[in-house]
Amino acid sequence: MKRPSIGFLFLGQTHTEYFDVSLCLSKYGLESHLIDLNNSDHIKWDEYSLINVRECRGYHLDPDFLRKIEVLENLLGSTPITNSLSIIRSAIDKGKYLQALEQDGVDIIPTFWLKRGAAVTLEDVIQETGWNDLVVKPTISSKCWNTYRVVKHACRMEIIRAENQTPLVLKNVAFEHHQVLSELLKSNDVCFQKFMPEILSRGELSFVFIDGKFSHAVQKTVARNNWLAHEFFGGKNEYYKAAVTEINWAQEIYAKLLHKYGDFLYARIDSIPDGQKLRLLECELVVPRLFLREGQAFEKYAIAIKKRIIG
């Protein structure tokens, strides 16, 4: 009897966890295959029991990603896709789901939103918000792509791009700053998040959910002389023994996501400590790294996938 197969969509690169996921699935009698989303015309979709989009790293660089997934879903027939298209539509853009969660009473990182094409300068944003230290990024982004930190001093302003940690020190603020922001706004909705200094000492806390249940938490720390809690920029990821109150906080947000968007195979909720409470940074619901190694959760993830197929 042919073993059930899972098709993992990808865009040329996968999470580093993929190989171990594949091995674990094999242990449970499931085959796994990578399917290039940009070269999938020859795929016989009815041969797959489940399609998983979590390996589509770099999706934010493809403005046609969502349309490709929508076209694909029409080809799948009864083969399920996870996380579902409705989740992908809603969660791919921080500007949509974060504002909706804030309206539902969730404490998010203080954020100012701008639509693509807005004629606004950084000085306008700083005056409007009162923040002298803020992070700027597209609402659809990953891996700190096109992310900046802006720090206003008395006589100058520093703009630090994530990909290049050398500060750009600008004195001709009226012209130069407008140019930086206007380039982003040409093709992106943009969000400005108040810089939370506790990220430097306490990092980010990520809460991972698998098959509808809290699985594990990870602390992502910031490298020395940096400001980004990301391993790509020298940070570290370590298992974190979350307090009951912290888990409850994440579960309350997860319950709101379930109510809004339906069933999740996987989800990750990222936060930054703010004194005695947590503030929501973002929810990774489409292509998250799940820190399966740190959480010793490969089998948990494989079993959750198997349940989607066999029940």
Q: Are strands 5-10 and 31-36 parallel, antiparallel or unpaired?
A: parallel
Q: In the prediction, which pLDDT does 173 show?
A: 52
Q: How far apart are CA 78 and CA 127, in angstroms?
A: 53
CATH of domain 5-83+303-310: 3.40.50
Q: In the prediction, which pLDDT does 2 show?
A: 60
- pTM for this structure? 0.93
Each residue's pLDDT, cut to its tens digit, for the chain (311 residues) gives 467 899 999 999 999 999 999 999 999 999 999 999 998 888 889 899 999 999 999 999 898 999 999 999 888 988 999 999 999 999 999 999 999 999 999 999 999 999 999 988 888 899 999 999 999 999 998 877 788 899 988 777 888 888 765 544 445 555 455 577 788 888 889 999 999 999 999 999 999 999 999 999 999 999 888 888 888 777 899 999 999 999 999 999 999 999 999 889 999 999 999 999 999 999 999 999 999 999 999 999 999 999 999 76
Q: Do 168 and 226 meet the contact criterion of CB atoms below 8 Å apart?
A: no
Exposure letters 111-132 (e unless 16+ CB within 10 A, then b): bbebeeeeebbbeebbeeeebe
With respect to CATH, is domain 90-108+198-295 assigned 3.20.20.240?
no
Q: In the prediction, which pLDDT does 73 show?
A: 85
Domain ranges of the chain: 5-83+303-310, 90-108+198-295, 111-194
Q: In the prediction, which pLDDT does 172 show?
A: 53
Q: How far apart are CA 94 and CA 192, in angstroms?
A: 11
Q: Are strands 5-10 and 50-52 parallel, antiparallel or unpaired?
A: parallel
Q: Do 11 and 56 meet the contact criterion of CB atoms below 8 Å apart?
A: yes
